[in-house]
Amino acid sequence: MNRQIYLDANAWCPPLPQAKEAILKALDIVGNPSSPHRFGRQARAMMDASRLQCAEVTGFSEQEVYFTSGVSESSRWVIDALDNLGRSLNRRLTVVTSALEHPSMRKRLAQATELDIYFISISKSGVLELPDALSQADALLLSGAHNETGLIWPWEAILSKVKPDCIVYMDAAQSFSRISLPLERVDALSLSGQKIGGIAGAGLLNLRNNALKLQPPWPGPGQEKGVRPGTEPFVAIHALAAAISQIHSTRTAYQHIEGIKDQVEAHLSGLFDDLDILLQEQQRLPNTTAITFPSVDGSALRMKLDRLGLAVGFGSACSGLAPEPSPGLLALGLTEQEAQSTVRISLPPTLSEADFNEICHRFDQL
Amino acid sequence: MNRQIYLDANAWCPPLPQAKEAILKALDIVGNPSSPHRFGRQARAMMDASRLQCAEVTGFSEQEVYFTSGVSESSRWVIDALDNLGRSLNRRLTVVTSALEHPSMRKRLAQATELDIYFISISKSGVLELPDALSQADALLLSGAHNETGLIWPWEAILSKVKPDCIVYMDAAQSFSRISLPLERVDALSLSGQKIGGIAGAGLLNLRNNALKLQPPWPGPGQEKGVRPGTEPFVAIHALAAAISQIHSTRTAYQHIEGIKDQVEAHLSGLFDDLDILLQEQQRLPNTTAITFPSVDGSALRMKLDRLGLAVGFGSACSGLAPEPSPGLLALGLTEQEAQSTVRISLPPTLSEADFNEICHRFDQL
């Protein structure tokens, strides 16, 4: 059987050695960071150090950094809080998002009762449409980049249209470890440990400026200054902090991988006349490409790639087991069949030239 | 400076060696359990194995076990879902709980909009009062045992009053690792990894029978069959499963510690005429005792114990930094001053006879 080649970094990345070290160290911490005694104070001091690292790297202050279980929870927090804000103001809020958002954002927004939702859209040929409502938006909820195609949203252009008091929330799950982001105008920022070299179970929700209008929607004990109840997942938190402190070298590694991505795309374009590299002309993440094979049946494509030992993604990983076509790809204007026959290749930063040759060799057999 | 003695096991317990091993192994897993390729299938197989272990030990089936971030999230899930159920049935639901519940239950319940809430109460002299509403309750939400006094609720007596279709939810955070629990009639069960020898960041929400009336209140991607969105915190999940598989030896260790707890109580009773061991005549957890020192000022008591190197709890750890008296203790009928002067001693299972002698020696200097 072929050695499996892992090409699904947007679903999962290996923890960094620094994160593993931090985990081992965290396992020796005695005490709950909320306890009033000396053990508690030591555990708290380590939490404060991790919070400071996260603050420095994201450009927020320590007081603006809160730990959650990850982006799914952080996005729910923001949307719950917006729904509550609309209710307390007794008016419907105008919210702008995109049709390409992760299900953690999209599905919670679909159940919001106090929000009028407008969509930024982009077609597969790259035509961006901003809704008129953007200039009146109470909140903008958008990812840094699309997890399937790697599209980097034109944040500067979008932000130039919003009101000064618009609450700007960025889900940076897929983008933070790969590119430098324009965070100055961002009021609320979320990311997940496992996407930046830590482990699943801890993430950030940073809140400042306009986001201070939002009230914590989850009542409970007083951890994280009342913003997020529940014993802090401190092993995963320390892994997150250790990983975020390596962000510059992680981003550099992803920049280097862009050349391999371009070569893979060129090789595949040479093999198949009719394939479509989605949003190829747009700014995209250096490691991500979504490729439609219109003449190949989706489920046959999955099986073939699996047999060839190429571990790629179909849709976002969280929904990877679902047989439905990706809503994000349909929103780009793909047919159901095209969406089913689209592969997400997301290269891990550790990939080598030798791996590249092997990948090409296997695709040759498709 | 004195060596610190850790007497706050209800706030935090050290992870078991088996959990640490499981963590190291989990750090080598490649892939996201929701991914459709071979790496994903391997990660999923490990999740299935951990789920099976949790099912076997709790007496639920694999299909009834869901992983969350811990009891705070699980309790919120249940109460959110009850609120939604009331809304969809267009009638107010009758919910019975106690005034001694953890803030993650108590504070979320206080914000419920569709629930009529009734309280089981117990006085500091041990008189239990069950509300008349118990026999009509749509749901019973109760801990296995009270985290501060160690009171084990008389579950059999309470359950004998409920309707067959009452949804019975047990927060077993403090009780599961210490005693055998009557789970046959429990429809929903929660526990947290860090309370049973795993690490913070993963917990259980088991759902069956009457709890199947509850709809998942958190929309998002499809992990955990749609019950709990977000990438599974699998490192903490595998630690939880490794810890739960040791539950019989953990419970045995706690049973052995009961003798030391009795000796500590006897020693302190000999030292102070007026101290009050709360609910001493009731069934209590083997490791937990809450002791009121009425003649000592609360903040002076904290400082003295800290100086003596005795790391004890005040209130639940999650609120340990708050200067307010514990609501649970006030509900027992203590005055604010008595509540402030109450210490929670919760012995870790690793405590030795030598530690006991040292503890007594230090209390002698109080």
A258-281 pLDDT per residue, tens? 999 999 999 999 999 999 999 999
Choose, out of A235, A306, A316, the residue to mutate when testing the contact with B (most B CBs < 10 Å): A235
- Residue A312 banded pLDDT, cuts 50, 70, 90: very high
> So what's the pLDDT on residue B318?
53
- Does the distance separating the beta carbons of B233 and A37 come in below 8 Å? no
Q: Which residue of B has its CA nearest to A19?
A: B27
pLDDT tens per residue, range B268-290:
999 999 999 999 999 999 999 99
Out of A86-100, A310-324, B69-83, B169-183, which region has the weakest mean confidence (pLDDT)?
A310-324
Whether A22 and A105 map to the same domain: the answer is yes
> So what's the pLDDT on residue B55?
98
> So what's the pLDDT on residue B316?
58
The predicted complex's ipTM stands at 0.95
> d(Cα A108, Cα A97) in Å, to the nearest integer?
12
Choose, out of A39, A69, A171, the residue to mutate when testing the contact with B (most B CBs < 10 Å): A69
Q: How many residues does chain B have?
A: 366
Whether A142 and A124 map to the same domain: the answer is yes
Does the structure show a pLDDT above 80 at B1? no
> d(Cα A257, Cα B4) in Å, to the nearest integer?
50
For residue B350, give both structure tokens. Answer: 């690793």
> So what's the pLDDT on residue B317?
55
Does the structure show a pLDDT above 80 at B321? no
Chain B residues within an 8 Å CB radius of A314? 36
Does the structure show a pLDDT above 70 at A317? no
Does the structure show a pLDDT above 70 at A157? yes
pLDDT tens per residue, range A14-50:
999 999 999 999 999 988 998 989 999 999 999 999 9
Q: What is the CATH number of the domain that holds A62?
A: 3.40.640.10
Question: How close does chain B come to A104, measured CA to CA in Å?
Answer: 4
Q: Is the torsion defined by CA of B189, B190, B195, B201 positive or negative?
A: positive
Percent of chain A with pLDDT over 70: 97
> So what's the pLDDT on residue A285?
98
Q: Which residue of B has its CA nearest to A1?
A: B38
Q: End of a domain among B198, B227, B247?
A: B247
Q: Determine the average pLDDT of the residues in B245-259.
A: 97
The closest of A145, A169, A159 to A81, measured between CA atoms, is A169
- Does the distance separating the beta carbons of A30 and B320 come in below 8 Å? no
- Does the distance separating the beta carbons of B38 and A31 come in below 8 Å? no
Whether A137 and A182 map to the same domain: the answer is yes
* Nearest-by-Cβ selection for B8 from A37, A103, A236: A37
The closest of A134, A89, A116, A144 to A284, measured between CA atoms, is A144
- Does the distance separating the beta carbons of A201 and B233 come in below 8 Å? yes
Phi/psi region, residue B176 (left: phi>0; alpha: psi -120 to 50; beta: rest), is alpha
Question: How close does chain B come to A358, measured CA to CA in Å?
Answer: 18
Choose, out of B69, B73, B174, the residue to mutate when testing the contact with A (most A CBs < 10 Å): B69
Whether A311 and A348 map to the same domain: the answer is yes
For residue B236, give both structure tokens. Answer: 């903490």
- Does the distance separating the beta carbons of A234 and B200 come in below 8 Å? yes
The closest of B212, B220, B231, B181 to B57, measured between CA atoms, is B181
- Residue A189 banded pLDDT, cuts 50, 70, 90: very high
> So what's the pLDDT on residue A111?
95
> d(Cα A145, Cα B265) in Å, to the nearest integer?
60
The closest of B102, B101, B106, B188 to B139, measured between CA atoms, is B188
> So what's the pLDDT on residue B324?
81
Residue bearing the bigger pLDDT, A244 or A352:
A244
Choose, out of B2, B37, B76, B310, the residue to mutate when testing the contact with A (most A CBs < 10 Å): B37
Q: Which amino acid is at A177?
A: S
Does the structure show a pLDDT above 60 at A68? yes
Question: How close does chain A come to B274, measured CA to CA in Å?
Answer: 25
* Nearest-by-Cβ selection for A231 from B27, B192, B322: B192
* Nearest-by-Cβ selection for A311 from B39, B70, B102: B39
What is the total count of domains within chain A? 2
Q: What is the CATH number of the domain that holds B276?
A: 3.90.1150.10
Whether B219 and B261 map to the same domain: the answer is no
- Residue A366 banded pLDDT, cuts 50, 70, 90: confident
- Does the distance separating the beta carbons of B6 and A235 come in below 8 Å? no
Phi/psi region, residue B196 (left: phi>0; alpha: psi -120 to 50; beta: rest), is alpha
* Nearest-by-Cβ selection for A220 from B12, B43, B108: B108
Q: Determine the average pLDDT of the residues in A222-239.
A: 94
Chain A residues within an 8 Å CB radius of B216? none
Q: Which residue of A has its CA nearest to B80?
A: A218
Q: Which amino acid is at A151?
A: L
The pTM (predicted TM-score) of the whole model is 0.96
Whether B164 and B196 map to the same domain: the answer is yes
pLDDT tens per residue, range B79-121:
999 999 999 999 999 999 999 999 999 999 999 999 999 999 9
Question: How close does chain B come to A211, measured CA to CA in Å?
Answer: 22
Chain B residues within an 8 Å CB radius of A231? 12, 70, 72, 192, 194, 200, 317-318
What are A8's strand-pairing partners?
A346
Whether A63 and A130 map to the same domain: the answer is yes
Give the structural domain span for B88: 17-247
- Does the distance separating the beta carbons of B107 and A219 come in below 8 Å? yes
Q: Which residue of A has its CA nearest to B44?
A: A321
What is the secondary structure of B41-56 as a DSSP string? Answer: HHHHHHHHHHHHHHHH
Q: End of a domain among B247, B263, B283?
A: B247
Whether A210 and A274 map to the same domain: the answer is no
Q: Determine the average pLDDT of the residues in A111-125.
A: 96
Q: Return the number of CB contacts < 8 Å for A and B.
A: 246
Whether B121 and B204 map to the same domain: the answer is yes
Whether B187 and B256 map to the same domain: the answer is no
> So what's the pLDDT on residue B314?
86
Whether A301 and A261 map to the same domain: the answer is yes
- Does the distance separating the beta carbons of A107 and B311 come in below 8 Å? no
> So what's the pLDDT on residue B287?
98
Q: End of a domain among A225, A247, A269?
A: A247
- Does the distance separating the beta carbons of B218 and A311 come in below 8 Å? no
- Does the distance separating the beta carbons of B108 and A201 come in below 8 Å? no
> So what's the pLDDT on residue A221?
86
Whether B90 and B226 map to the same domain: the answer is yes
Phi/psi region, residue A230 (left: phi>0; alpha: psi -120 to 50; beta: rest), is left
- Does the distance separating the beta carbons of B306 and A38 come in below 8 Å? yes
- Does the distance separating the beta carbons of A200 and B232 come in below 8 Å? yes
